[in-house]
Amino acid sequence: MATEILNVPAIPELSRKDFVTTNDVRWCPGCGDYAILNSLQRTFAELGVAREKFVMVSGIGCSSRFPFYMDTYGFHTIHGRAPTVATGVKVANPDLSVWVITGDGDGLSIGGNHMLHLLRRNLNINVLLFNNRIYGLTKGQYSPTSPFGTKTKTSPTGSLDNPLNPVLFALGAEATFVARTVDNNPKHMVETFKAAHAHQGVSFVEIFQNCVIFNDAAWDPVYGKDNRAEQMLFLEAGKPLLFGKNKEKGIRLNGLTPEVVDAATAAPGEILIHQPDHASPLYSQMLATLGLPEFPTPMGVIRQIERPTYESLITDQVESAQAKRGTGSWKELLHGKSTWTVK
């Protein structure tokens, strides 16, 4: 039998400039959002996806200006509701590459409930959460991720709130892809964004982002030039958890407690091997709790597992119902046995 050749137009080769709009980018000079924007534009150009297939969805905040600065389709929605709009977009047209851009305030405070349900449903949507530990757009109030004791306009004597860990939040919602990256490492950002896009299911990426005006140098203890070698643990699947300038330190488990050990003197097999696809979530949850002052902060893909996507399950459900009952019609729906007339 002859093979039918479909005349499908090839996707034109794209560059970063294809995703740059004519809108003036209006963030404060030195804001970490500039680097994230540049990295995401580079990522989109290299994904092999037609430009008209991308949709950016944001809520409210400095990060949420992204739809204006990406030459794609997009929605600038209301505070905290980007996950809801993105869900509708993806279910209506599963072929689209949908990206939610949010911040620690927009996504984890007023939008926390909406974010929770997006993650647990496992839609094939990419969530980029910019975490600068402050409300920047509204001029410096403490946010859900601000450390205990943070002094701001709304907490002049220090915040008494226990800070929320975005990665633990995503893991608790059973997101199938959870990662972390930083705004001062474009190479790592692009790698992480590409991995998120390749994943079939929801991806949640926390980005350490610097607000130069209201919370400058918030992440310097982690990724500052003088600290990054000792305070960042870059994760590679199948590789040991090593860090330090010369990879001289490692992470092992003492019972259920992680410990830092000397890599040179550690017993064979003692240092943990990174397994983002481990069946148990306990390993990923342990990684999510690592950080200052005792441990380095993990960077990269923390967890990645497979589960059917929400939109595919909906499609299967609809097709199954139509096979049993037929396609139906609006007239039958509005005037069927489940309706009544009020006189």
Are the C-beta atoms of 67 and 56 separated by less than 8 Å? yes
Indicate the length of the chain as a whole number.
Answer: 343
Distance between CA 184 and CA 190 in Å, rounded? 12
Q: Which structure tokens are listed for 19?
A: 């995703």
**235 in a domain, yes or no?**
no
Q: Which structure tokens are listed for 180?
A: 């972390």
pTM of the model: 0.93
Q: Which structure tokens are listed for 303?
A: 């967890």
Task: Give the residue-averaged pLDDT of 170-178.
Answer: 98
**333 in a domain, yes or no?**
no
> Does 6 have pLDDT greater than 70?
no
- DSSP 3-state assignment of 339? coil
What does the pLDDT read at residue 343?
81
Task: Give the residue-averaged pLDDT of 118-140.
Answer: 96
Reported as a single tens digit per residue, the pLDDT across 248-294 is 999 999 999 999 999 999 999 999 999 999 989 999 999 999 999 99
Q: With bands split at pLDDT 50, 70 and 90, how would you rate the model's confidence at 1?
A: very low
Around Cβ 262, how many Cβ atoms within 10 Å?
A: 10
Domains contained in the chain, number: 1
Task: Give the residue-averaged pLDDT of 305-311.
Answer: 97
Reported as a single tens digit per residue, the pLDDT across 22-55 is 999 999 999 999 999 999 999 999 999 999 999 9
Residue 106's domain spans which residues? 16-218+306-315
**288 in a domain, yes or no?**
no
**67 in a domain, yes or no?**
yes
Query: What is the chain's mean pLDDT, rounded?
Result: 94
**8 in a domain, yes or no?**
no
Which CATH number fits the domain that encloses residue 65?
3.40.50.970
Q: With bands split at pLDDT 50, 70 and 90, how would you rate the model's confidence at 138?
A: very high
**249 in a domain, yes or no?**
no
Task: Give the residue-averaged pLDDT of 159-178.
Answer: 97
The DSSP line for 202-261 is -EEEEEE--BTTTBTTTTHHHHSTTTHHHHEEE--TTSB-EESTTS-EEEEEETTEEEEE
**161 in a domain, yes or no?**
yes
Dihedral pair phi/psi, residue 302, rounded to 5°: -90, -40
**283 in a domain, yes or no?**
no
**CA angle, 19 then 20 then 22, to 5°:** 135
